[in-house]
Amino acid sequence: MKIVISFNCQTPGVAEALFQLNPSYKILNIPLFNINDPSFRAAAQKEIESSDYWITDSIPEFFSSINKKIKVIEVPMLTYPAFYPDISGISGENGEKTIRKYHSGIVAAAYKNNMPVEEVPSLFNKINFNKLGFFNAHQDSFNNLKNQYSKYGLEKYFYDFFYEVKKNGIFMYTATHPNAYGHACIAKLVNKIIGNESNVMPKPKDYLSYFQWSLYPDLSIYHGIEGYYRWLLKDSTLPNEINILGLELFCQFYYQQYDQDEVMKNRSYIIKNELGTNFEKALF
């Protein structure tokens, strides 16, 4: 049996966990960002078309003529912003990219409205979190994920999958980056979809632990766990891993980054999180 796994960042963890469940299978890890690279596309398509199953959350348009003999199973990637509803993406008015990939919507809104950096930590409180809809984030995240499973025709698997992944408490590092347990649960789901049942919980490497958002204390109480203001940041724009402990230092770090970013400095950018929160309307 040959299976190709194609998500994005979630690909290696799911592939490794599925291999642990089926060590006699050939499991290939081919992320979508590699498939979308023209220099890699032909080789990727060759591997996919010689497989028995292709597991992906998105089929690129240029694969519309793929070999009909293989079974293509679309599975939603695990997106669950409830633990970190403040995480946002930012783009310029014409789609320009910012230096940082991940942002605090609260800090970005404060910067856009010229709030002094020393005053920004005061925005992080229960009253503002309620205005921002953060306390509804679990229900919204649950509904969005459930709708994705319905869209992909996987309704009958959703509740078993969701309650399995919830057993471990916090199963995400960001809104779109599961921890190793999250990858293991996706692999068990895929295994079930292809007709295999297993009570074994695989233990893949924790591939996405290099970037961890803070679980805000006033939100963590709602989750029944202990929170903290600590961020672990690492991406292609940072030469070294940055560990930020404390809300004041976090705000200062991002303001310094924004002062060097042309998209941010013109203060006409668009803030967007996974839940569609309007940060400026709620806070200013």
88 and 49 housed in the same domain: no
Residue 156 lies in a domain: no
Which comes out higher in pLDDT, residue 274 or 221? 274
Q: Are residues 215 and 230 in the same domain?
A: yes
Same domain, 87 and 69: no
Co-location of 65 and 10 in the same domain: yes
8 and 132 both lie in a single domain: no
Is 256 within a domain? yes
Flag whether 257 is in a domain. yes
Q: What is the pLDDT of residues 228-267, one digit of tens each?
A: 999 999 877 776 789 999 999 999 999 999 999 999 999 9
Shared-domain flag, residues 245 and 267: yes
For the chain, how many structural domains are there in total? 2
123 with 218, same domain: the answer is yes
Rounded mean pLDDT of the chain? 93
On whether both 109 and 8 belong to a single domain, the answer is no
Contact 208, 179 (CB under 8 A): yes
- Is there a domain that residue 273 lies in? yes
Q: Would you put residue 270 in left (φ > 0), alpha (ψ -120 to 50) or beta?
A: beta
Q: Which domain holds residue 242?
A: 81-136+211-283
Say if 253 falls within a structural domain: yes
Average pLDDT over residues 194-201: 92
For 64, 89, 172, 207, 284, the CA distances from 213, given in Å and listed in that order, are: 37, 14, 9, 15, 24
* Inside any domain, residue 164: no
The answer to the question of residue 220 being in a domain is yes
Could you read off the pLDDT of 27-75 as tens digits, one per residue? Answer: 999 999 888 888 888 898 889 989 999 999 988 877 766 666 788 999 9
Q: What is the CATH number of the domain that holds 70?
A: 3.40.50
Residues 59 and 85 in one domain: no
User: Which pair of tokens denotes residue 35?
Assistant: 């498939």
Residues 54 and 90 occupy one common structural domain: no
Residues 125 and 181 in one domain: no
Distance from C-alpha of 57 to C-alpha of 55, rounded to nearest angstrom: 7
In-domain check, residue 161? no
Within this chain, do residues 128 and 20 fall inside the same structural domain, yes or no?
A: no
Highest averaged pLDDT of the listed ranges 51-65, 93-107, 114-128, 222-236: 114-128
